Amino acid sequence: MKIGIFGGSFNPIHNSHLSVMNKVIAKNLVDEVWVMPCKKHPLDKFLDKEEDRVAMVKLALAGLERIKFSDFELRKDGKSYTYDTLRKLKQKYPHNFSWIIGSDILKQISTWHGYEHLQREANFIVLRRESYPIINPGINIESSLDIPTENISSTRIRERVRQGKPISNMVPKAVEDYIIKSGLYQK
Protein backbone atom coordinates (compact mmCIF):
# COMPACT_ATOMS: atom_id res chain seq x y z
CA MET A 1 0.00 0.00 0.00
CA LYS A 2 1.21 3.51 -0.75
CA ILE A 3 0.79 5.98 2.09
CA GLY A 4 1.12 9.76 1.88
CA ILE A 5 2.30 11.26 5.16
CA PHE A 6 0.93 14.74 5.76
CA GLY A 7 2.69 16.02 8.85
CA GLY A 8 2.49 19.30 10.67
CA SER A 9 1.52 21.06 13.84
CA PHE A 10 -2.16 21.43 12.82
CA ASN A 11 -2.59 24.35 15.20
CA PRO A 12 -5.37 24.29 13.91
CA ILE A 13 -6.04 22.09 10.89
CA HIS A 14 -7.79 24.15 8.19
CA ASN A 15 -9.57 23.99 4.84
CA SER A 16 -6.39 24.31 2.76
CA HIS A 17 -4.96 21.25 4.50
CA LEU A 18 -8.12 19.33 3.65
CA SER A 19 -8.10 20.56 0.05
CA VAL A 20 -4.52 19.34 -0.44
CA MET A 21 -5.24 15.91 1.03
CA ASN A 22 -8.41 15.45 -1.00
CA LYS A 23 -6.63 16.37 -4.25
CA VAL A 24 -3.74 13.98 -3.56
CA ILE A 25 -6.32 11.22 -3.05
CA ALA A 26 -8.41 12.27 -6.08
CA LYS A 27 -5.30 12.07 -8.30
CA ASN A 28 -4.61 8.56 -6.90
CA LEU A 29 -1.06 9.48 -5.94
CA VAL A 30 -1.45 7.39 -2.78
CA ASP A 31 -3.86 4.79 -1.42
CA GLU A 32 -4.26 6.65 1.88
CA VAL A 33 -3.14 9.87 3.50
CA TRP A 34 -2.09 9.66 7.13
CA VAL A 35 -2.39 12.99 8.92
CA MET A 36 0.41 13.02 11.46
CA PRO A 37 0.57 15.87 14.00
CA CYS A 38 4.00 16.38 15.54
CA LYS A 39 4.53 16.14 19.28
CA LYS A 40 7.25 18.78 19.42
CA HIS A 41 8.09 20.91 16.42
CA PRO A 42 11.72 20.52 15.28
CA LEU A 43 12.10 24.31 15.03
CA ASP A 44 10.68 24.78 18.55
CA LYS A 45 7.54 26.45 17.22
CA PHE A 46 4.94 27.00 19.97
CA LEU A 47 2.21 24.36 19.87
CA ASP A 48 -1.08 24.37 21.70
CA LYS A 49 -2.02 21.36 23.77
CA GLU A 50 -1.72 18.03 22.00
CA GLU A 51 -5.23 16.98 23.00
CA ASP A 52 -6.76 20.06 21.38
CA ARG A 53 -4.80 19.65 18.15
CA VAL A 54 -5.71 15.94 17.99
CA ALA A 55 -9.39 16.63 18.67
CA MET A 56 -9.53 19.21 15.87
CA VAL A 57 -7.78 16.89 13.39
CA LYS A 58 -10.19 14.06 14.22
CA LEU A 59 -13.19 16.37 13.83
CA ALA A 60 -11.91 17.63 10.46
CA LEU A 61 -11.31 14.11 9.15
CA ALA A 62 -14.61 12.61 10.30
CA GLY A 63 -16.32 10.90 7.40
CA LEU A 64 -13.43 11.29 4.94
CA GLU A 65 -12.42 8.16 3.09
CA ARG A 66 -8.78 7.21 2.67
CA ILE A 67 -7.63 10.06 4.95
CA LYS A 68 -6.77 8.94 8.47
CA PHE A 69 -5.42 10.38 11.69
CA SER A 70 -2.09 8.93 12.85
CA ASP A 71 -0.66 9.40 16.33
CA PHE A 72 2.66 7.86 15.27
CA GLU A 73 4.78 10.94 16.09
CA LEU A 74 2.71 11.80 19.17
CA ARG A 75 3.60 8.47 20.80
CA LYS A 76 7.30 9.26 20.90
CA ASP A 77 9.21 11.68 23.06
CA GLY A 78 11.18 14.62 21.83
CA LYS A 79 11.18 16.51 18.57
CA SER A 80 9.67 15.08 15.42
CA TYR A 81 12.24 14.58 12.71
CA THR A 82 11.12 13.30 9.30
CA TYR A 83 14.00 10.89 8.90
CA ASP A 84 13.49 9.29 12.31
CA THR A 85 9.78 8.91 11.60
CA LEU A 86 10.45 7.38 8.17
CA ARG A 87 12.90 4.86 9.62
CA LYS A 88 10.45 3.80 12.35
CA LEU A 89 7.51 3.62 9.93
CA LYS A 90 9.52 1.32 7.63
CA GLN A 91 10.36 -0.92 10.59
CA LYS A 92 6.72 -1.21 11.61
CA TYR A 93 4.80 -1.30 8.31
CA PRO A 94 5.30 -2.96 4.90
CA HIS A 95 4.00 0.15 3.08
CA ASN A 96 5.67 2.59 0.72
CA PHE A 97 5.68 6.09 2.21
CA SER A 98 5.76 9.50 0.56
CA TRP A 99 5.88 12.84 2.34
CA ILE A 100 3.43 15.51 1.19
CA ILE A 101 5.11 18.92 1.42
CA GLY A 102 4.70 22.42 0.01
CA SER A 103 7.23 23.88 -2.39
CA ASP A 104 8.02 26.52 0.26
CA ILE A 105 9.73 23.76 2.28
CA LEU A 106 12.21 22.88 -0.48
CA LYS A 107 14.48 25.82 0.26
CA GLN A 108 15.06 24.62 3.85
CA ILE A 109 14.92 20.83 3.49
CA SER A 110 18.71 20.52 3.16
CA THR A 111 18.96 21.72 6.78
CA TRP A 112 16.69 18.94 8.09
CA HIS A 113 18.01 16.33 10.48
CA GLY A 114 19.17 13.30 8.48
CA TYR A 115 18.93 15.12 5.14
CA GLU A 116 21.55 12.91 3.49
CA HIS A 117 19.45 9.83 4.38
CA LEU A 118 16.25 11.51 3.19
CA GLN A 119 17.92 12.11 -0.17
CA ARG A 120 18.41 8.35 -0.57
CA GLU A 121 15.40 6.89 1.23
CA ALA A 122 12.44 9.28 1.13
CA ASN A 123 9.90 10.08 -1.57
CA PHE A 124 8.08 13.40 -1.77
CA ILE A 125 4.90 14.72 -3.30
CA VAL A 126 5.41 18.45 -3.67
CA LEU A 127 2.58 20.96 -3.85
CA ARG A 128 3.49 24.06 -5.77
CA ARG A 129 2.72 27.09 -3.61
CA GLU A 130 2.39 30.57 -5.00
CA SER A 131 5.73 32.42 -5.11
CA TYR A 132 7.67 29.20 -4.39
CA PRO A 133 8.83 27.45 -7.57
CA ILE A 134 9.77 23.79 -7.37
CA ILE A 135 13.55 23.78 -7.32
CA ASN A 136 14.72 20.30 -6.42
CA PRO A 137 17.40 20.32 -3.69
CA GLY A 138 18.42 16.73 -4.52
CA ILE A 139 15.48 14.74 -3.15
CA ASN A 140 13.23 12.19 -4.86
CA ILE A 141 10.19 14.17 -6.01
CA GLU A 142 7.86 11.53 -7.35
CA SER A 143 4.97 13.92 -8.11
CA SER A 144 4.31 17.62 -8.11
CA LEU A 145 0.92 19.26 -8.13
CA ASP A 146 -0.37 22.71 -8.81
CA ILE A 147 -3.07 23.09 -6.23
CA PRO A 148 -4.52 26.54 -5.86
CA THR A 149 -4.99 27.15 -2.17
CA GLU A 150 -6.75 29.95 -0.45
CA ASN A 151 -4.68 32.32 1.63
CA ILE A 152 -5.26 30.33 4.80
CA SER A 153 -2.69 29.66 7.48
CA SER A 154 -2.94 28.40 11.03
CA THR A 155 -1.19 31.58 12.21
CA ARG A 156 -3.78 33.75 10.47
CA ILE A 157 -6.63 31.72 11.98
CA ARG A 158 -5.21 32.12 15.49
CA GLU A 159 -4.83 35.87 14.95
CA ARG A 160 -8.40 36.20 13.68
CA VAL A 161 -9.75 34.31 16.70
CA ARG A 162 -7.75 36.58 19.03
CA GLN A 163 -9.22 39.61 17.25
CA GLY A 164 -12.76 38.24 17.47
CA LYS A 165 -13.03 37.92 13.67
CA PRO A 166 -14.87 35.06 11.92
CA ILE A 167 -13.05 31.96 10.72
CA SER A 168 -16.01 30.04 9.31
CA ASN A 169 -14.63 30.07 5.76
CA MET A 170 -11.19 28.90 6.94
CA VAL A 171 -11.92 25.77 8.99
CA PRO A 172 -14.58 23.03 9.00
CA LYS A 173 -17.65 23.90 11.10
CA ALA A 174 -16.82 21.23 13.69
CA VAL A 175 -13.33 22.70 14.16
CA GLU A 176 -14.70 26.22 14.46
CA ASP A 177 -17.20 25.02 17.09
CA TYR A 178 -14.40 23.28 19.00
CA ILE A 179 -12.20 26.41 18.96
CA ILE A 180 -15.05 28.57 20.25
CA LYS A 181 -16.25 26.07 22.88
CA SER A 182 -12.71 25.43 24.16
CA GLY A 183 -11.71 29.11 24.15
CA LEU A 184 -8.63 28.35 22.07
CA TYR A 185 -6.47 31.16 20.71
CA GLN A 186 -8.31 33.81 22.73
CA LYS A 187 -5.18 35.14 24.43
For residue 88, what is the domain's CATH number?
3.40.50.620
pLDDT of residue 44: 59
pLDDT of residue 33: 98
Would you say residue 142 lies in a domain? yes
Would you say residue 163 lies in a domain? no
Full-model pTM? 0.93
pLDDT of residue 81: 87
Look at the chain and count its residues.
187
Residues of the chain scoring pLDDT < 50: none
Report the domain count for the chain: 1
pLDDT of residue 47: 75
What span, in angstroms and rounded, lies between the C-alpha atoms of 35 and 13? 10
Write out the residue range of the structural domain in which residue 18 sits. Answer: 2-151
